[in-house]
Amino acid sequence: MDLRLSGKRAIVTGASRGIGLAVARGLAAEGVDLVIAARAEGALREAAAGIVREFGVRVIAVPTDTGDDEQVKALVARTVDELGGVDILVNSAATPWSAGPGGGVQATTDEIVRREVEIKVLGYLRTARAVAPHLVAQGWGRIVNISGLGARHANSIGQTIRNVSVSALTKNLADELGPHGVNVTVVHPGITRTERFTERLTAQAERDGDEVAALEQQLATNSIRRLVDASEIADVVTFLASPRSISITGDAIAAGGGIPGPVFY
């Protein structure tokens, strides 16, 4: 299937590694020119060089802290200036929850929730706010927000709040921007194999004398009974970023390999 993405221009945040980098590579494979953003400048520039070598598209690395509105505005302005416009925004800049604290009421301080909302929810809002006028003016665009299946599990207050909030933001944007040709969706990954995840499992395996594959299998409690790779999340996002996804907007797409038991409708 031709996704009709060749020649489109995208901003991908959180793209120095993990799901963000996988998404950038997925879009590049379809001929999309990219501006990739993250706070870690060295890793970001290395990621950009790798994408250029592999896919031959134009890639501009712009170190950006999405917690700073002025940096976000500068990111979008540079994209429009250097690529001639912007068609797609993929929001993936967030602190991995696996690296953060747990979620009981006594352990959930104001600062934990404030930090998660600031980085993930308000960060996504800032980028969408800066990009939306360009998408509306041209009458076409796609915004894909990466959230997480923590939105559907009440096992951590902070995690659930941040992910449900991204879903709420997505729906509001979809209803407002839909009449202008802009679709907005949210993707909920589950446990996903990324560089950071593999590094953590490798360290655990070395410490406990286990095999990484065995540890992965223990964590694969989804319906397909294997972990989903970041590249497979990217496949979903790449479709949602394409003109082919016209019939999907405002909705949450679960991409965790299925949750055994519950019926979501």
- Tens digits of per-residue pLDDT, 122-152? 999 999 999 999 999 999 999 999 999 988 8
Percent of the chain exceeding pLDDT 70 equals 97
Give the mean model confidence (pLDDT) for residues 69-95: 97
Could you tell me the residue ranges of all domains in the chain? 9-192+229-255
Its pTM stands at 0.95
Phi, psi of 256 (to 5 degrees): -115, 10
Give the mean model confidence (pLDDT) for residues 189-206: 89
Give, in degrees to the nearest 5, the angle at Cα 90 between 60 and 193. Answer: 95
Q: Looking at residue 99, what is its pLDDT? A: 44
Q: Is the pLDDT confidence value at 179 over 90? A: yes
Give the mean model confidence (pLDDT) for residues 23-40: 98
Contact 27, 10 (CB under 8 A): yes
* Closest alpha carbon to 121 in 89, 152, 94: 94
Distance CA 129, CA 174 (A): 13
Distance CA 116, CA 213 (A): 31
User: pLDDT-derived band of residue 205, with 50, 70 and 90 as boundaries?
Assistant: confident
What fold characterizes domain 9-192+229-255? Rossmann fold (3.40.50)
Task: Give the three-class secondary structure for 247.
Answer: coil
Name the least confident of 50-59, 89-98, 133-142: 89-98
Give the mean model confidence (pLDDT) for residues 101-127: 89
Q: Looking at residue 86, what is its pLDDT? A: 98
Task: Give the three-class secondary structure for 62.
Answer: strand
Contact 145, 187 (CB under 8 A): yes
Name the least confident of 7-11, 189-193, 203-207: 203-207
